[in-house]
Amino acid sequence: MEEILLDTDVFIDYLRGHKERVKDVFLRVENGQIKGIVSQLTLVELYAGDIEGREKEREIVKLLSYFEIIRLNDTLCKLAGKVRWKYKLGIADAVIAATCIETSTKLLTFNLKHFTNLPGIMLYSL
């Protein structure tokens, strides 16, 4: 089964109502056609965003219920630190990159400029 890790920006677009370009991916994850993966850091970023009441929080919880959450551990933290230092990424992008590298998972992101030239990163195209 194909596995893809979704970057936080994909969830944010979806939650803000820009569902057209990603709804097929979310449906395929929900139907079990694709194994959806997220970094634990994505949870932090989503809950740190503008959650407009309990309804938006319920939507986040429902969306995430279809995804495997990759927890941060020492190995991921060390790799993320090295990636951040070597490629001058922000911490969040470095953690996402390290998670993709460690799990050999393709990445779906709209933030292509940060990930395009990173060794070990395979981008998922829509």
With bands split at pLDDT 50, 70 and 90, how would you rate the model's confidence at 107? Answer: very high
Please, are residues 5 and 99 in contact by the beta-carbon 8 Å criterion?
yes
Can you give the pLDDT at residue 89? 93
**Residues 36-56, mean pLDDT to the nearest whole number:** 82
Of 24, 22, 67, 23, the C-alpha closest to 42 is 67
Q: In the predicted model, is pLDDT for residue 53 greater than 70?
A: no
Give me the helices (H) in the chain, please: 8-15, 23-30, 40-48, 53-64, 74-87, 91-103, 112-115
Residue 81: other Cβ atoms inside 10 A: 14
**Residues 83-108, mean pLDDT to the nearest whole number:** 95
- Look up the domain containing 57 and give its range: 3-123
With bands split at pLDDT 50, 70 and 90, how would you rate the model's confidence at 50? Answer: low
| Count of domains observed in the chain | 1
CATH code, domain carrying 10 = 3.40.50.1010
Can you give the pLDDT at residue 125? 83
Please, are residues 112 and 14 in contact by the beta-carbon 8 Å criterion?
no
Pairing relationship of beta strands 34-39 and 2-6 according to DSSP bridges: parallel
